[in-house]
Structure formats: structure tokens, C-alpha cells
């Protein structure tokens, strides 16, 4: 005997609603009763492939470590972390000094924030030529973009870390043979009016040490570099003063910091010197 259609329908198990179609509660947007504003909240140390401007080749692909933050008013419980990555994904093909504030504006818009902050640190590679053999190799430098934007103000500066060689003037003076030398790590941060190339900052720093550092040197190159450094001894104080002197002459640069750490070869400590200058506060 055939089963009536109405009876069949009673025996069919109802399908439960898919979790993807259920309404999802936005916990971040719920109110918070502690009334404490957070100055910076966001994502930190995102490893991300980016494309940056290259003075010689136009662009360069590299891997960055990125921090992105916004302010959070006291009445919100949390922020939407995924939106930071969404913005980053939109701009990853060209992240540069030129569009830094466009990225910050998009972050503020996406997260409905009053202020946004971003820090981008990445290795930057320059092809260098050995002084005698002309052998070519890639040298890496640690570069950094840092900035913030709100309705009231904008701030942006670039930073770069450059290794050089330094020969101790005192050691050279008191020794019958040779002089001790060391690797010097020079850190420079600058604010400026118009676009500036990382390569130009690197050149200023490398010219301010006893000698440049290279990835590849043949024996004739090693002889040249050693003798060149010996003929140009520099204290850690000399290096920061020389870099500062050159930066001071550039009217495009409005503020800078220069720090140098000498990784001493005959002591179990480092030598350090630091200079800061804010040319905006000087009388012209």
C-alpha cells in the first residue's frame, strides 16, 4: 500500500541551519565599562612579501616585518584585527615612502579610528662592486618606515642600519705595528620635506667610516680595504659627528638621529655614541 505524501514528509529529518548562515555576534563592538582608552592596538610582526622602490632597478621584492595599530576609544571592547591584514593585502605590491599615508588613511577608514600607526622593517639589497677586482655581490641593509596619522597631525621618518669598519686612532698612534679595528653599526633615522632615497643615506654613512663593508672581497680587495681603513682611523665619536655633519648640510632633512656602536675587538664591551638634531627649531 503506498504511503501518503503527508506521512512521508513527517519521517524526513529536518536539516539544521548551516553555522555559516547563523547571525554572528560582533564581540569587538560591544561596550566596555572600564572607561580606559587604548593608545595603540593592532597586529605586530606580520611577515609579508612587499615591493619597495629601488633607485637603480625601479622596484625590489623583499620580506618585511610589519606592525599596524590604531587607537581604541574607551567605550569599545576591541578592534577588528583582520582588517589590518586586508589593508596590507591591498598595498603589498608597492609599499613606499610615497604611499605610506595612503595606507594609514585606509587603516583609519576600515577601522573607524581617529589615529593609525605603522612600522615596516625589511632587508634592502644593493649590488656592490669590490674596489680592486670589481667583483659584484649583494649587500643587505636593515631599513625601516615608521609613521602615524590623525586628523590633527602626521608624522613619518625612515631609519636605516649600516655596517662600516672603524680603525682606532689611539691604537694606531701608540702601536709600532698595526692598530685594532672593529665592525661599527651605524643607525640613522631622519625626517625630511621631500622624497629621499635609501641609497643616498647609505652612501653618507659608508663615506663616514674608516672603510665600507663588502660581501665579497678578493685578496687585492682585502689589501686595499685594510690599508684604506688604516689611513682613515675613526673613533665612534668621529663617525657620528661625520654623519651628523653631512646630514646637517642637506636642507631637505629636518630632523635626524645618528647612533653608532663599535663592536670592540680587544674589549668585552662596545663603544657607543649618539647625536640628535632637530633643524625645525633652529633660527634660519
Helix axes 198-206, 236-248, angle to 10 degrees: 140
Q: How confident is the model at residue 7 (pLDDT cuts 50, 70, 90)?
A: very low
| Residues pairing with 168 in the sheet | none
What is d(CA 120, CA 144) in angstroms, rounded to the nearest whole number?
A: 5
Position 12 pLDDT exceeds 70: no
Position 34 pLDDT exceeds 90: no
C-alpha cell at 183: 665592525
**Distance, C-alpha 41 to centroid of its chain:** 19
Give me the residue label for grid cell 656602536: 261
Q: 11 or 213: whose pLDDT is higher?
A: 213
C-alpha cell at 106: 585606509
State the average pLDDT over residues 15-19. Answer: 56
Q: What is the pLDDT of residue 37?
A: 83
Q: How confident is the model at residue 260 (pLDDT cuts 50, 70, 90)?
A: very high
Measured CA angle at 229 (ends 54, 189), to 5 deg: 40
Q: 122 or 79: whose pLDDT is higher?
A: 122
| Residues pairing with 258 in the sheet | 188, 275
- Residues 122-160 have pLDDT tens digits of 999 999 999 999 999 999 999 999 999 999 999 999 999
Q: What is the pLDDT of residue 5?
A: 53
Beta strands in 55-202 (DSSP E): 58-72, 115-129, 136-150, 154-167, 181-192
Give the count of beta carbons closer than 10 Å to the beta carbon of residue 33. 8
Q: How confident is the model at residue 167 (pLDDT cuts 50, 70, 90)?
A: very high
Q: What is the pLDDT of residue 158?
A: 96
Q: What is the pLDDT of residue 282?
A: 56
Position 74 pLDDT exceeds 90: no
Position 284 pLDDT exceeds 50: no
State the average pLDDT over residues 186-213. Answer: 96
Where do the H-state alpha helices sit in 45-136? Answer: 82-91, 100-111
- Residues 95-127 have pLDDT tens digits of 888 899 999 999 999 998 999 999 999 999 999
- Average pLDDT taken over every residue of the chain: 88
What is d(CA 185, CA 261) in angstroms, rounded to the nearest whole number?
A: 5
Q: How many CA atoms lie within 13 A of 162 on its CB side?
A: 27
Give me the residue label for grid cell 634660519: 284
Q: Which domains does the chain have, with CATH numbers?
A: 30-126 (3.10.270.10), 153-284 (3.10.270.10)
Q: How confident is the model at residue 26 (pLDDT cuts 50, 70, 90)?
A: low
Q: What percent of the chain has pLDDT over 90?
A: 70
Task: Specify burial of residue 24 (Cβ count, 10 A radius: 0-12, 13-18, 19+).
Answer: exposed
Which is nearest to 127 in space by CA: 115, 114, 136, 118? 136
Left (φ > 0), alpha (ψ -120 to 50) or beta: where does 35 sit?
left
Amino acid at each position: 500500500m503506498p504511503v501518503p505524501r503527508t506521512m512521508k514528509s513527517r519521517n524526513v529529518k529536518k536539516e539544521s541551519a548551516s553555522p555559516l548562515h547563523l547571525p554572528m555576534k560582533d564581540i569587538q563592538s560591544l561596550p566596555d565599562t572600564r572607561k580606559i582608552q587604548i593608545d595603540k592596538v593592532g597586529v605586530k610582526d606580520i611577515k609579508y612579501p612587499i615591493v619597495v622602490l629601488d633607485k637603480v632597478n625601479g622596484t625590489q621584492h623583499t620580506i618585511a616585518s610589519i606592525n599596524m595599530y590604531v587607537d581604541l576609544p574607551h567605550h569599545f571592547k576591541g578592534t577588528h584585527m583582520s582588517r589590518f591584514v586586508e589593508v596590507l593585502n591591498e598595498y603589498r605590491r608597492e609599499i613606499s615612502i610615497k604611499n605610506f599615508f595612503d595606507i594609514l588613511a585606509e587603516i583609519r577608514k576600515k577601522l573607524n579610528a581617529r589615529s593609525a600607526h605603522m612600522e615596516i622593517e625589511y632587508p634592502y639589497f644593493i649590488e656592490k662592486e669590490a674596489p680592486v677586482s670589481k667583483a659584484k655581490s649583494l649587500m643587505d641593509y636593515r631599513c625601516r618606515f615608521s609613521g602615524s596619522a590623525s586628523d590633527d597631525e602626521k608624522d613619518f621618518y625612515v631609519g636605516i642600519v649600516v655596517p662600516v669598519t672603524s680603525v682606532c686612532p689611539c691604537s694606531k698612534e701608540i702601536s709600532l705595528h698595526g692598530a685594532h679595528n672593529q665592525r661599527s653599526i651605524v643607525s640613522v633615522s631622519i625626517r625630511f620635506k621631500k622624497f629621499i632615497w635609501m641609497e643616498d643615506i647609505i652612501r653618507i654613512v659608508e663615506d663616514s667610516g674608516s672603510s665600507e663593508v663588502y660581501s665579497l672581497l678578493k685578496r687585492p680587495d682585502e689589501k686595499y680595504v685594510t690599508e684604506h681603513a688604516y689611513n682613515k682611523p675613526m673613533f665612534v665619536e668621529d663617525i657620528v659627528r661625520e654623519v651628523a655633519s653631512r646630514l646637517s648640510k642637506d636642507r631637505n632633512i629636518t630632523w635626524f638621529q645618528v647612533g653608532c656602536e663599535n663592536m670592540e675587538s680587544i674589549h668585552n664591551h662596545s663603544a657607543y655614541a649618539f647625536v640628535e638634531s632637530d633643524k625645525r627649531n633652529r633660527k634660519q
